Chains A and B, each alone.
Chain A
């Protein structure tokens, strides 16, 4: 059974960098069948996708956060990481890590790869406050 677990500081000061680790067990992040992603949810709000990383190290980010986000991975430790710089109170949220199952669709325009979040961590609340 695949499990994901977020860890990192729960309190971050404004203007500093938020850093989180996602540790994956029961499956390898080196598998080419998946992306590894971060999603966040502010209190009482909906879900916001932050970004994803592939086993190759290739990344994609939400354009709304792209200038402040870095996602990386360490295959030897089966972990991937989130760094969000220059945080403000608006970045206070529950942060989830999740596995994205990659699905290939053959269309008239060629191969389209979509995906869905099939395993999630329990989430960790990060508060930005001085």
Chain B
């Protein structure tokens, strides 16, 4: 099975900061990598699909990049409503796998 390593596990940043999260796959997954935001007490929400495609209605400050085994997720200018846990997710061989999550807090 493909393992997903997401880092950091937690992150503290200031409003307006640029924030980057990484996700590394144990094998080449092409660009089949998605990113989700989970606010406290809520269901996850799709932000980015296929590594770099912004889901409809998602603010443009969110972006994704990468292919193969190494992927990044970026918030260009952190807003208060971005406080959440972020997960990467891949699909391979009939199995969906999530990263461990990155908890983002305001400094």
**Which residues of A are in contact with B by a Cβ distance under 8 Å?**
37, 46-49, 52, 60, 62-63, 96, 98, 101, 103, 105, 107, 112, 114-118, 120-123
Q: For residues 66 through 85 of chain B, which have their beta carbon under 8 Å from a beta carbon of chain A?
A: none
Q: How far is the CB of B49 from chain A (nearest CB, A)?
A: 5
For the complex, give the distance between the alpha carbons of A48 and B43 in Å: 13
Q: State the CA gap A121–B45 with chains docked (Å).
A: 10
Q: Are B32 and A47 interface neighbours, CB within 8 A?
A: no
Q: Within 8 Å CB of A48, what residues of B?
A: 98
Query: Which residue of the partner chain, among A47, A96, A112, A118, contacts B46 with CB atoms under 8 Å?
Result: A118
> Hey, which bits of chain B sit against chain A, CB under 8 A?
1, 30, 32, 34, 36, 42-46, 49-50, 55, 87, 89, 91, 94-101
Specify the chain B residue showing the minimal Cβ separation from A120.
Answer: B43
Residues on A with C-beta less than 8 A from B96 are: 37, 49, 52, 115
How distant is A126 from chain B, measured CB to nearest CB, in Å?
15
